[in-house]
Amino acid sequence: MQRVAQTAIEAGKAYARLAGGDAAAGGDGAIGLLRRALLYLPAHDHRKVVKASTLDVDLICLDCEDAVAEARKPDARQAIPDILSSTNFGRSEVAVRINPVDTPHAWHDLEAVLGASTRPHTIVVPKVDTPEQMEWLYDAVQTLSPDSNTKPLHLITQVESAVGLHFLHDICQVGKDRGSAEDRRIIHDGLILGGDDFAASIRARRTPSNRELLLARQQTIVAAARFGLTAIDIVNIHYKQGLDLLEQEASEGAEMGFDGKQVIHPVQVPIVQAAYHPTPQQIDYARRLVDAFNAHSDAGTGAFEFEGTMVDMPTVRQHQQVLWMDNHLQAAAAQK
């Protein structure tokens, strides 16, 4: 068991390079952040903020964008500093979603967030379509946060259009280049696919199967893996009915390679987080397989047969990641 635990730790380091980037292996990137469920709530709605603080959810996102009517955006913005300083969200990562950078709201949203006495862990930026918009964001943060010694903020950007998907590699490259600079006020470590906005941008008809979003989902996962970012899947808007479909959709996302999923109602949180948690059967199988790998490795064996299947290093790495995730989730549970 001790050998398996150590293997899980080593798998975590390898997984950090794959799913959290080299920075994550050093402690600054996405590897330390569970993002199985990202719950949006309008920042100006006090009742929903209080409710969210009682939930066991990986990521709470105080929204100034889509969840807030145009006339209420100043109210949401003004509520942010007080929420951040007065609300205990427990173990949850806390994010603020600002308005798109091509709107007049974005600068004022950043002013409110960066000027708050208590900052969020993360900023979510919607509708990032071009590398120039990413550059603007980094420049704005640098201007509004003049102290380069402050703890870096995490940054999650959203892919929500055909243009954004086309330029996704270039957008992520800006984040990598600016994040690797000596002055690191903000670190890009996550991608979100905005499914409904993306579908509208390509004139697709939404279907329960999400087949019209398959390419965008896969390209988001690939870009996230390429740049060491977490990948967060589309929203399912049917929160009153269709929870079986939500469970199926979340499980599919986990199988595809997403790290988590956006949610819009508390009832969705446990379903989604369970879908991204390895089952006891998966954990037990992974332990046995890794034990067998260790024994064969000690004997100098390469590929080997295990319970009717041929196992080589790619298979071993997949199951090491299951053990790492289990260890990580147990550590998160201990923080409750």
Q: 131 or 329, which is more confident?
A: 131
Task: For residues 276 and 63, give the distance between their C-alpha atoms in angstroms, rounded to a whole number.
Answer: 24
Q: Domain range holding 328?
A: 1-27+278-336
**100/230 same-domain check:** yes
- Residue 250 in domain: yes
| Token digits of residue 141 | 């943060």
| Per-residue pLDDT band at 220 (split at 50, 70, 90) | very high
Q: How many domains does the chain have?
A: 2
Instruction: Please give the torsion angle defined by the CA atoms of residues 134, 84, 236 and 159, in that order, rounded to the nearest 10 degrees.
Output: 0
pLDDT of residue 11: 42
Task: For residues 262 and 61, give the distance between their C-alpha atoms in angstroms, rounded to a whole number.
Answer: 10
pLDDT in tens, 169-185: 999 999 999 987 767 89
Residue 107 confidence (pLDDT) above 50: yes
- Residue 180 in domain: yes
pLDDT of residue 167: 99
pLDDT of residue 184: 82
> What CATH number has the domain bearing residue 173?
3.20.20.60
**153/208 same-domain check:** yes
Q: Is 97 annotated as a binding residue?
A: yes
**69/22 same-domain check:** no
**65/55 same-domain check:** yes
pLDDT in tens, 140-172: 999 998 787 788 999 999 999 999 999 999 999
Sign of dihedral through CA atoms 149, 153, 154, 157?
negative
**76/189 same-domain check:** yes
- Residue 32 in domain: no
**41/118 same-domain check:** yes
Q: 125 or 329, which is more confident?
A: 125
**286/227 same-domain check:** no
- Residue 96 in domain: yes
Residue 326 confidence (pLDDT) above 70: yes
Task: For residues 133 and 331, give the distance between their C-alpha atoms in angstroms, rounded to a whole number.
Answer: 37
pLDDT of residue 19: 39
Q: Percent of the chain having pLDDT more than 90?
A: 77
Tell which of 255, 276, 297 closes a domain.
276
pLDDT of residue 1: 47
Task: For residues 329 and 325, give the distance between their C-alpha atoms in angstroms, rounded to a whole number.
Answer: 6
**195/219 same-domain check:** yes
pLDDT in tens, 251-271: 999 999 999 999 999 999 999
Output the 3-class SS for the chain: CHHHHHHHHHHHHHHHHHHHHHHHHCCCCHHHCCCCEEEEEECCCHHHHHHHCCCCCCEEEEECCCCCCHHHHHHHHHHHHHHHHHCCCCCCEEEEECCCCCCCHHHHHHHHHHCCCCCCCEEEECCCCCHHHHHHHHHHHHHHCCCCCCCCEEEEEEECCHHHHHCHHHHHHHHHHHHCCCCCCEEEEEEEECHHHHHHHCCCCCCCCCHHHHHHHHHHHHHHHHHCCEEEECCCCCCCCCHHHHHHHHHHHHHHCCCEEEECCHHHHHHHHHHCCCCHHHHHHHHHHHHHHHHHHHCCCCCEEECCEEECHHHHHHHHHHHHHHHHHHHHHHCC
Is-catalytic flag, 22?
A: no
Backbone angles phi, psi at 283, to 5 degrees: -65, -45
pTM above 0.85, yes or no: yes
pLDDT of residue 105: 97
| Per-residue pLDDT band at 17 (split at 50, 70, 90) | very low
- Residue 148 in domain: yes
Which residues is 41 bridged to in the sheet?
62
Options 45, 129, 312, 326, the catalytic residue: 312
Report the 10 Å Cβ neighbour count for 119: 20
Mean pLDDT of the region 96-107: 97
Q: Tokens 């006891």 appear where?
A: 280
Q: Tokens 């000596």 appear where?
A: 182
pLDDT of residue 3: 53
Q: What angle separates helix 313-334 from helix 2-15, to the nearest 10 degrees?
A: 100
Residue 301 confidence (pLDDT) above 60: yes
Residue 20 confidence (pLDDT) above 70: no
Q: Is 65 annotated as a binding residue?
A: no
Task: For residues 130 and 170, give the distance between their C-alpha atoms in angstroms, rounded to a whole number.
Answer: 8
**271/302 same-domain check:** no
Instruction: Please give the torsion angle defined by the CA atoms of residues 225, 229, 230 and 231, in that order, rounded to the nearest 10 degrees.
Output: -60
pLDDT of residue 300: 86
**320/235 same-domain check:** no
**256/289 same-domain check:** no
**297/222 same-domain check:** no
Least trusted range by pLDDT, from 27-36, 201-210, 219-228? 27-36
Tell which of 254, 276, 298 closes a domain.
276
Q: Percent of the chain having pLDDT more than 70?
A: 89
pLDDT in tens, 27-55: 334 445 789 999 999 999 999 999 999 99
How remote is the C-alpha of 205 from its chain's centroid? 26
Tell which of 276, 292, 325 closes a domain.
276
